[in-house]
Amino acid sequence: MGCKICRTKPVIKLTSTKISLCDKCFLRYFESKYLRTIRTYNMIKNTKKLYIFNDKYSEINYFILKRLSDERKGKFKVLKTNNKKLNIINSNNLDKISSLILLSEFKNKFKKDLTPIYKNKLSPLYFLNNKEIDLYAKLNKLKTKKEKIDKNEEKILKFLDEVESKYEGTRNNIVKSYLELIQ
């Protein structure tokens, strides 16, 4: 079975929609979903500077936002930082957020800071999973960094991998349910 859009050889089967996409269609899908998150949560607003936090997927955030800045003729600058006090773009994504939501539930400590935008933290990768992000990085020859994960979060990630293999879309459903609860 070929790409859902152009019928060429697929490179990925999306777990959320169960459709297969080729590399070009996947890149359009990824960037569209990334930019939709920015628009939906009004992440850029009237800002003059966007700070990319130097974390796991910072190269991807920089790559997309720098191109967006260029398209808007430099209406905002994209800068890299390690300062957590600035308004920062981080690498929080579907896998990380869904595991943190479950972890907070298991600890019976409901957290309200796991939204796509919370105080000074902006997460445009929020609705994309690690598999999609890693493929996007590979196709664009972008580097990703290793991330330190505590033992509890690692256990939750493994548990979610098992559940996701049986029930595709589980992470997506966890995050969507969480967002409905906090609204």
What was the pLDDT predicted at 110? 83
Topology of the domain covering 30-182: Rossmann fold (3.40.50)
Which residues of the chain fall below pLDDT 50? none
The helix/strand count (H/E) of the chain reads as: 6, 7
Alpha carbon 124 to its chain's center: 6
Q: How far is the C-alpha of 69 from the C-alpha of 62, rounded, in Å?
A: 10
Structural domain boundaries in the chain:
30-182
What was the pLDDT predicted at 54? 93
Cα–Cα distances in Å, from 109 out to 112, 118, 145, 156?
Answer: 10, 17, 29, 16
> What φ, ψ does residue 42 adopt, rounded to 5°?
50, 50
What pTM, to 2 d.p., does this model score? 0.92
What was the pLDDT predicted at 78? 94
Which residue in this structure is represented by tokens 């996409």? 21
